């Protein structure tokens, strides 16, 4: 082992022995600790996304740490637009109003003209104020051609109980500017054919989110620790998806009940209160590490979700190689205003959305990661995962022709990831 | 749901048995794999992916996504 690696190991060990619960990065003085990640996900018949992330940390002379992060991602493919599948070919006007796209009969309507590119940067500063107090300041900017997000955060970690317990507090604020293609659609207005006047309002609108989090890290034994966190956040402003629509189906006709008559733009509440409890447990069995986490989430849109996540890092015979199976189970209830479509005979509700992400569904992730520890904290790994969503394909509220359609087609996604961390 | 109940039971049993750990007994805990956020980069990629596919987010980190994907 080279001298540099020994130095890293000693510095790393000393840091954690003195600091108790490891929670801050692995930066060391006069060097950058660079952690790169790449994710490529491929959804069957829908989107393909590539996301690249670079995180670099450097410990300064005063033991504070500077954290820089850059992200770049591209999504292309077909995104569900909210309309219901139908027994006939459907034609939709593009957001720009300058073109249209067709969707085959008996197919989930999705906008295959969709392409999005995002670039984001964040800057963080970890201030080691004392032996028992760490402060963190962070900020980010994220840019898409139709979206701008600016955010800032502050967090505090206080060590007590001989560094066996950490008290956590954090607060964040985010300001977002949405400027959709073709301007902001009028809520519940009908989608118009290409060439006609499109029902649009202002060019851009804003949404904000702020939140706080309180938590506790606790060492349980020489080989196990846990975390417990409560988070509260409020979002306000334009929370609607400007590209999502709903089908209005005929529930009056006796000859073709369930036929699509019109498409209208969705409308969501302008406020959202979000709460969650998150707990994580980590333990070491021999050379192997078990990582369990559970989150319960609830908000005033009536979405409730449970997420359980299990990772087992299994060291192979060679101490530098590992396999890490991953299982994630997710269950979600629907938002109170979620509807797969609207009925022509009923008056419009205050809010409605057919976004499948607001529907009730279960999701499962199953995957495995293979990696090699190159030196202390330097690591190279690749992973493959399968993610699926299953909802109610044939809800009782479907009428007539809709009963022949799959109103929540399963989502099947292959996820490939790559990670490389090194000193530079 | 059985998985969730099992998790809660395991955590509860562990929390009932907190041992005082001295600095020189933290060799295992000092390992990078024992950090609660052992891989921030992969966790960030995961969080962004799930934020764009599901109706809820947050927990480990801030629930805002910094993007227009949800």
What is the pLDDT, as a whole number, of residue B7? Answer: 60
Q: Looking at the domain assignment, is residue A3 inside a domain?
A: no
Q: Looking at the domain assignment, is residue A89 inside a domain?
A: yes
What pTM value is reported for the model?
A: 0.91
* Closest residue on chain B to A221 (Cα): B19
Lowest mean pLDDT among A3-12, A144-153, A343-352, B55-64: A3-12
Q: What number of other Cβ atoms are within 10 A of residue A255's Cβ? A: 7
Arithmetic mean of pLDDT, A152-172: 96
- Is B41 a residue whose pLDDT tops 90? yes
A233 touches chain B (CB under 8 A): yes
Our count of domains for chain A comes to 1
User: E strands along A29-164, which residues?
Assistant: 32-43, 47-59, 65-80, 90-93, 100-103, 110-130, 133-144, 147-160
Residue pair A177/A206 in contact (Cβ under 8 Å)? The answer is yes
pLDDT band for position B63 (50/70/90)? Answer: low
Taking the C-alpha atoms of residue A173 and residue A417, their distance in angstroms, rounded to an integer, is 30
A303 touches chain B (CB under 8 A): yes
Token digits for A250? 């005929």
Nearest to B18 among A218, A308, A357 (CB): A218
Taking the C-alpha atoms of residue A217 and residue A356, their distance in angstroms, rounded to an integer, is 36
Nearest to A217 among B4, B36, B70 (CB): B36
Arithmetic mean of pLDDT, A120-148: 95
Q: Looking at the domain assignment, is residue A2 inside a domain?
A: no
Residues paired with A412 in a beta bridge: A388
CA distance B50 to chain A (A): 10
User: ipTM greater than 0.90, yes or no?
Assistant: yes
Taking an 8 Å cut-off on Cβ atoms, the answer to whether A211 and B62 are in contact is: yes
CATH of the domain at A161: 2.40.160.40
Taking an 8 Å cut-off on Cβ atoms, the answer to whether B59 and A231 are in contact is: yes
Residue pair B48/B62 in contact (Cβ under 8 Å)? The answer is no
Q: Write out chain B residues lying below 8 Å of A413, CB-based.
A: 53
A324 touches chain B (CB under 8 A): no
Instruction: Give residue A23's domain range.
Output: 8-423
Q: What pLDDT digit, counting tens, does each position of B5-28 carry?
A: 556 666 655 555 788 899 999 999
What is the pLDDT, as a whole number, of residue A24? Answer: 43
Percentage, residues of chain A above pLDDT 90: 84
Q: Looking at the domain assignment, is residue A160 inside a domain?
A: yes
Nearest to A282 among B18, B34, B56 (CB): B34
Residue pair A90/A72 in contact (Cβ under 8 Å)? The answer is no
CA distance B69 to chain A (A): 9
CA distance A146 to chain B (A): 8
Nearest to A357 among B22, B33, B70 (CB): B70
Q: What is the mean pLDDT of chain A?
A: 91
Q: Looking at the domain assignment, is residue A419 inside a domain?
A: yes
Taking the C-alpha atoms of residue A23 and residue A45, their distance in angstroms, rounded to an integer, is 40
A183 touches chain B (CB under 8 A): no
* Closest residue on chain A to B62 (Cα): A172
Q: How many Cα atoms are found within 13 Å in the side-chain-facing hemisphere of A120?
A: 29
Q: Looking at the domain assignment, is residue A182 inside a domain?
A: yes
How many Å separate Cα B55 from the centre of its chain? 19
Q: Looking at the domain assignment, is residue A39 inside a domain?
A: yes
A28 touches chain B (CB under 8 A): no
Q: Give A104's contacts (C-beta < 8 A, 6+ positions apart).
A: A89
Q: What pLDDT digit, counting tens, does each position of A10-22 carry?
A: 444 444 444 446 4
Q: What pLDDT digit, counting tens, does each position of A400-413 carry?
A: 999 999 999 999 99
Q: Write out chain A residues lying below 8 Å of B48, CB-based.
A: 51, 71, 73
Q: Looking at the domain assignment, is residue A228 inside a domain?
A: yes
Taking an 8 Å cut-off on Cβ atoms, the answer to whether B30 and A329 are in contact is: no
- Is A23 a residue whose pLDDT tops 60? no
């Amino acid at each position: 082992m080279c001298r540099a690696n020994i130095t890293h190991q000693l510095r790393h060990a000393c840091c954690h022995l003195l600091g108790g619960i490891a929670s801050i990065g692995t930066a060391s003085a006069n060097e950058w600790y660079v952690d790169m990640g790449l994710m490529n996900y491929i959804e069957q018949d829908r989107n393909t996304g590539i996301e690249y992330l670079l995180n670099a940390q450097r410990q300064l002379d005063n033991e504070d740490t500077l954290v820089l992060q850059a992200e770049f991602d591209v999504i292309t493919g077909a995104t569900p637009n909210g309309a219901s599948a139908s027994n006939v070919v459907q034609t939709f006007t593009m957001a720009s109003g300058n073109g249209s796209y067709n969707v085959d009969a008996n197919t989930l309507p999705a906008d295959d003209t969709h392409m999005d590119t995002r670039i984001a940067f964040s800057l963080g500063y970890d201030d080691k104020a004392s032996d028992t107090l760490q402060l963190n300041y962070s900020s980010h900017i994220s840019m898409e051609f139709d979206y701008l997000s600016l955010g800032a955060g502050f967090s505090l970690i206080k060590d007590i109980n001989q560094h066996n317990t950490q008290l956590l507090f954090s607060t964040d604020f985010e300001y977002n500017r949405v400027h959709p293609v073709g301007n902001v659609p009028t809520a519940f207005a009908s989608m118009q054919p290409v060439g006609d006047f499109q029902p649009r309002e202002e060019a851009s609108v804003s949404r904000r989110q702020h939140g706080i989090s309180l938590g506790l890290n606790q060492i349980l034994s020489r080989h196990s620790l846990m975390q417990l966190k409560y988070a509260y956040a409020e979002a306000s402003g334009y929370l609607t998806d400007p590209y999502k629509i709903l089908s209005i189906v005929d529930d009056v006709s006796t000859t073709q009940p369930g036929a699509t008559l019109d498409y209208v733009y969705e409308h969501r509440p302008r406020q959202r209160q979000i709460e969650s409890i998150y707990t994580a447990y980590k333990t070491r069995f021999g050379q192997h590490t078990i990582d369990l986490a559970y989150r319960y989430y609830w908000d005033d849109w009536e979405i409730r979700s449970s997420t359980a996540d299990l990772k087992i890092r299994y060291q192979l015979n060679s101490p530098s190689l590992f396999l890490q199976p991953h299982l994630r189970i997710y269950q979600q209830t629907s938002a109170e205003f979620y509807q797969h479509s609207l009925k022509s005979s009923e008056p419009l509700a205050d809010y409605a959305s057919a976004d499948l992400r607001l529907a009730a569904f279960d999701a499962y992730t199953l995957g495995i990661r293979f990696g090699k520890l190159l030196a202390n904290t330097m690591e190279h790994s690749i992973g493959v995962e399968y993610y699926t969503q299953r909802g109610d394909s044939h809800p009782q509220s479907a009428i007539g022709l809709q009963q022949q359609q799959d109103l929540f087609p399963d989502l099947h996604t292959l996820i490939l990831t790559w990670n490389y961390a090194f000193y530079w | 749901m059985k998985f969730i109940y099992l998790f809660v039971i395991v955590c509860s049993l562990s929390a009932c048995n907190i041992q005082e750990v001295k600095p020189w007994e933290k060799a295992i805990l000092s390992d990078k794999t024992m950090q609660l956020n052992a891989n921030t980069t992969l966790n960030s990629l995961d969080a962004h992916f799930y934020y764009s596919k599901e109706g809820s987010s947050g927990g480990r980190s801030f629930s805002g996504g910094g993007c227009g994907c949800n």
